[in-house]
Structure 1
Amino acid sequence: MSHYIIVSFETRKPELSPAEFKDYYDNVHVPVIQEAMGSSFPKSHARYYVKQQSEDPNNANSTLPLVLIGSVADIDYDALVIMTFENRQQFLEFQTKYGEPDIAAKIGASADKFTIQSKLKVIGLDHPHITFG
């Protein structure tokens, strides 16, 4: 398996509800990335949104991440995004194109509308080790 996997941790702007964050990401931001990147768009772009629980039923923005073990304070992101590329070469093509000033500006302007860019974290992953029951 030669897939190349990148994960980003993305944090919504506090003035947006989790639903508004998801809606913008899925219906506006991803199409912006697709159009800007063209054939350099990853093979897949999967968004996993952190499950939220209401802190205040009268305020849609007042939510806390559902944390089963650990501290809520440690979860400072709202989406875990997994991008899969065919191979390292496709990833490098994506990275090169993303680095073009006009492409970076277009995607960055969209991201600035719904995420806190200073909290963005992006890492590479090794291939999964999966155990099935």
Structure 2
Amino acid sequence: MTYTIVLFVSRRPNITTDQFRDFWENSHIPLLKSIAGKAFPLSHTRHYVARVNSKAGDRAGVKTASTKIAASAAPVVLVGNANEVDWDGYAELVFRDELHFQQFFALVNEPDAAERIQMDEEQFSDPDKFKIVVLGDTVSTGAD
């Protein structure tokens, strides 16, 4: 059975959402792959919060997404309070099993690797808002 963790990552306040995405994709992921090698997750899928300036809310028919009502960098929130979305992206890391995760975790926490990763993360993310959650059972329902 696979082992999955989810990371919630917030950008540093002094960078744009585009800079955040670019750094995560083009610096941080290659660094993790180089450190983890064969222990890299089966998949490392990143999802980014849609922002008002993307017009995603307008296309969905969400009136509060209008740039006249919300700041252009505000998240597009269908239900709830946009101020409570304090992360810019989340990642789902899937491992073969718990042992695979433990191997990855050990490698990225070796002192030299951990220092390199932390220095890289500080370029684009806010460490005070960083969260990692282990997922339990997964239940999926498809269309009939």
TM-score after normalising by structure 2: 0.84
Whole-angstrom distance in 1 between the partners of 2:122 and 2:76: 25
Give the counterpart letter for 1:40 in structure 2: A
Identity %: 30
Of structures 1 and 2, the larger Rg is shown by 2
Once superposed, which parts of structure 1, at least 4 consecutive aligned residues long, lie more than 3 Å away? none
Q: Secondary structure at the match of 1:113?
A: helix
TM-score after normalising by structure 1: 0.91
1:14-60 per-residue CA deviation (whole Å, 9 max, x = no partner) reads: 121111111111111100110111112111100000111139x8xxx
2:104 is the counterpart of 1:94: yes
Q: How many residues align?
A: 128
Q: Secondary structure at the match of 1:9?
A: strand
Superposition map of 1:20-39 within 5 A? 20-39=19-38
Superposition map of 1:106-125 within 5 A? 106-125=116-135
Structure 1 gap ranges (5+): none
1:83-109 per-residue CA deviation (whole Å, 9 max, x = no partner) reads: 000001000111111221101011111
Structure 2 gap ranges (5+): 54-64
2:94 is the counterpart of 1:84: yes
What is the RMSD of the two structures over their aligned residues, measured on CA atoms?
Answer: 1.6
Give the counterpart letter for 1:101 in structure 2: P
Give the counterpart letter for 1:29 in structure 2: H
Q: Secondary structure at the match of 2:52?
A: strand
